[in-house]
Structure 1
Amino acid sequence: MIIETNNLTRKFGDRLAVDNLNLTAEEGKILGFLGPNGAGKTTTMRMLAGLISPTSGYAVVDGIRPDKEAERVHEIIGILTETPGFYNNLSAQRNLEYFAGFYNLSDASAQIEKYLKLMELWERKSDKVGTFSKGMKQRLAITRALIHRPKILFLDEPTSGLDPEVSQEVRGLIQNLSREGYTIILSTHNLSEAEQLCHRIAVIRSALVTLDTPANLRKRLFKHQTMIKLEEIDENLIQAISKLDYVNKHSREENTLLIELADPSKHQSDLIKKIVEAGGRIIEVTDKKHSLEDIYLSLLNEEEKI
């Protein structure tokens, strides 16, 4: 694991922002941080990046303790904060040259040109950043995070303020960076974005609620349901389904039946046969797929009951 935390804790006065957090990140994979506002996602990122120290516990990032050797960590990470800071009176290129100077890059100009073009900012390289829109500043911040070829990227709301087309381009860039071997920690409120990008999801609410792949979370939280859309549903059909001993549960949403089977692989074909015999005219048979939003809300509801 390229990142590990051990009872990572951070307090701000009496407020507990991060509570004994234990998680891992796999090298070359995208780990998503999900949680409500104030859950500690950004605070966790800042501790992993060596920007603030934990109150107790510790993290290890590529073999380095950020609280002990922050400068070494800064050499191997790129970070995009939710509110990236730039010198508004300097041009985009001059801003990047200034930040690149911290890394003593021999090819800084080439890297700056490469990513400004990738982010479609090359034509505005000489313009003052103060004239940029929020979306343009966000693209510039991603450029800044990449110019020194970091091993790990911390991205806090990377598509915030971007229009849908640019957001999709940024997501494509993130996927490409992952394929190239970058480890990415992604904090986002956009659940569809997390589902599209992340190999694993860490749901955080001060403490870690869970850490797993979206597929495993679905299996853990939800029973398999078969969705059968029909031309119409009458009471005789409902009664016929209710009598089947392998049907654990069933419900109806307009002209669609949601059926939980004891063993879907064994019983689904017989279920379809029985529906047809009962006069049902089937339009479509699919498996219900629970979205990441369903998973997220279920986990937080479970956590509130504890």
Structure 2
Amino acid sequence: MIRTENLTKTFALRKNQPPIQAVQNLTLEVKEGEVFGFLGPNGAGKTTTVRMLAALIRPTSGSAFINQFQIGRDDTQIRRSIGILTETPGMYERLSAEKNLSIYANLYDVADVKGQVEKYLRMLGLWNRRMDEVGSFSKGMRQKLAIARALLHEPRVLFLDEPTSGLDPEAAKLVRDFIEELKSEGRTIFLCTHNLDEADRLCDRIGIFKSRLIAVDTPANLRQRLFGRRVVFHLRALNPEWVETLRRFEFVKEVTPVDNRLLVRLDEPEQYNPVLIRKLVECGADLQFVGEIRHSLEDIYLQTLQAEE
């Protein structure tokens, strides 16, 4: 659905200044129906990448294919087949929400303009404000209207650049729920966001990017690769001998005592936790409960960027 091969974008500066390579040799494939999170710091080249994939600017070198259309050759077809939400979407502020969407629906040659406009205004909770000027809308309402605009022509591929940026919690949740609904419909979503908790919840895979692609995988696999898995055994009291007892198991990689807890690093805790629990009970331990330390996507993101630097 989205495929790039060594996609590169270089911006020329003034004379006697070296060019800036905003995107370096990006090779990536996003599958149909996948929500792909594109994460990176400000100035990393994320928006430049989206603009190339949306056929808004030409790459310096490399190639990209969207819905089997090639960037630079089939740009009109690409623009017709995708939806895009930019970080700062522009609207005709003196026109109503309904009129704004009608204009764009006609540009996309939507067959049932009135029906599609009503469908998405209702879906995003804007129907009662359809006749109001967009200039009177809050940022959250404008963002929802911009999402509706991106969906009017029912594209199978969506590019969303910071869809919940600056929204209050209620509006952000509505947008996230809407993305979940689009995901359930099998649409392919390319999501740029600084909200790492949002990316963790929504994305099937993530790519960490800083001019070039540093890491790409599912959040779970990246956690496993960077941190492994750690189980915490909460005890009424800790006997130091139990530390050595657990270390004797071949599948245990590390045991760390902390107050009345044992932190155990191991793979496949679902398989081996019962073995460790039985052993601790045999040794006389009073187990209060067992949990697992779950590193956040923020931990993964920062660790990956630090390793790159």
TM-score of the two chains, using structure 1 as the length reference: 0.91
User: Distance in 2 between the 1:252 and 1:38 partners?
Assistant: 42
Map of 1:281 onto structure 2: 286
Structure 2 CA distance for aligned equivalents of residues 173 and 28 of structure 1 = 15
- Distance in 1 of aligned mates of 2:133 and 2:116: 20
Please tell me the residue identity of whatever aligns with 1:242.
E
C-alpha displacement of 1:178: 1.6
Distance in 2 (CA, whole Å) between partners of 1:140 and 1:262 is 46
Q: By how many angstroms is 1:33 displaced? A: 0.5
Aligned with 2:186: secondary structure?
coil
* Residue aligning to 1:151: 156
Equivalent residue, structure 2, for 1:95: 100
Going from structure 1 to structure 2, the CA distance change for 1:254 and 1:9 (only over 3 Å counts) comes to: farther
Evaluate the alpha carbon distance shift between residue 37 and residue 253 of structure 1 in structure 2; reply closer, same or farther with a 3 A threshold: farther
Structure 2 Cα separation of the partners of residues 271 and 187 of structure 1 = 42
Q: Tell me whether 1:192 sits opposite 2:206 in the alignment.
A: no
- CA distance in 2: counterparts of 1:79 and 1:299, whole angstroms: 28
Cα distance between partner residues in 2 of 1:33 and 1:116: 28
* Structure 1 equivalent of residue 69 of structure 2: 64
CA contact (8 A) 2:243 2:256 kept: no
Q: Cα 1:272–1:120, aligned 2, differ >3 Å: closer, same or farther?
A: same
Comparing 186-195 with 265-274, greater Cα deviation is found at 265-274
CA shift, 1:278, in A, is 4.8
Could you tell me which amino acid in structure 2 is paired with residue 23 of structure 1?
A: L
Gaps of 5+ in 2: 13-18
Pairing 1:272–2:277 present:
yes
- Structure 2 residue aligned with 1:245: 248
Partner of 1:10: 9
Aligned partner letter, 1:206: S
After TM superposition, give the deviation of residue 297 of structure 1 in Å.
2.0
Give the corresponding residue for 2:16: none
Residue 300 (1) aligns with residue 305 (2): yes
Residue equivalent to 2:134: 129
User: Percent of aligned pairs with the same residue?
Assistant: 50
Equivalence for 2:170: 165
Deviations 1:155-191 (A, max 9, x none): 0111112221222221121111122121110111111
Alignment partners' CA distance in 2, 1:261 and 1:103: 54
CA distance in 1, matches of 2:160, 2:258: 39
**1:286-306, Cα deviation, whole Å (9 max, x unpaired):** 2332222222222222222xx
Aligned residues: 300
Q: Give SS of 1:94's match.
A: helix
1:177 aligned residue: 182
Q: 1:3 to 1:262 in 2, by over 3 A?
A: closer
**TM alignment of 1:111-126, pairs within 5 A:** 111-126=116-131
Equivalent pair of 1:47/1:67 in contact (CA under 8 Å): no
Residue aligned with 1:111, SS: helix
Distance in 2 of aligned mates of 1:262 and 1:151? 38
Pairing of 1:194-273 with structure 2 (within 5 A) = 194-233=199-238, 237-243=239-245, 244-246=247-249, 247-261=252-266, 264=269, 267-273=272-278
SS at match of 1:21: strand
Change (3 A) 1:5 1:261: closer
Question: Counterpart of 2:35?
Answer: 30
How far does the alpha carbon of each residue in 1:231-275 deviate from its partner, in whole angstroms, 9 at most, with x for none? 343xxx234313532243223455432112477566533433443
Question: What SS class does the counterpart of residue 161 from structure 1 fall into?
Answer: coil
CA contact (8 A) 2:243 2:262 kept: no
- How much has 1:118 moved relative to structure 2? 1.2
SS in 2 for 1:136: helix
> Is the CA contact 1:28–1:183 (under 8 Å) kept in the aligned structure 2?
yes
Judged with a 3 Å threshold, the aligned counterparts in structure 2 of structure 1 residues 79 and 274 are, in CA distance, closer, same or farther, namely same
The structure-2 alpha-carbon separation of the partners of 1:165 and 1:262, relative to structure 1 and needing over 3 Å to count, comes to closer
Contact 1:231 1:282 survives alignment (8 Å): yes
Quote how far apart the aligned CAs of 1:279 are.
4.7
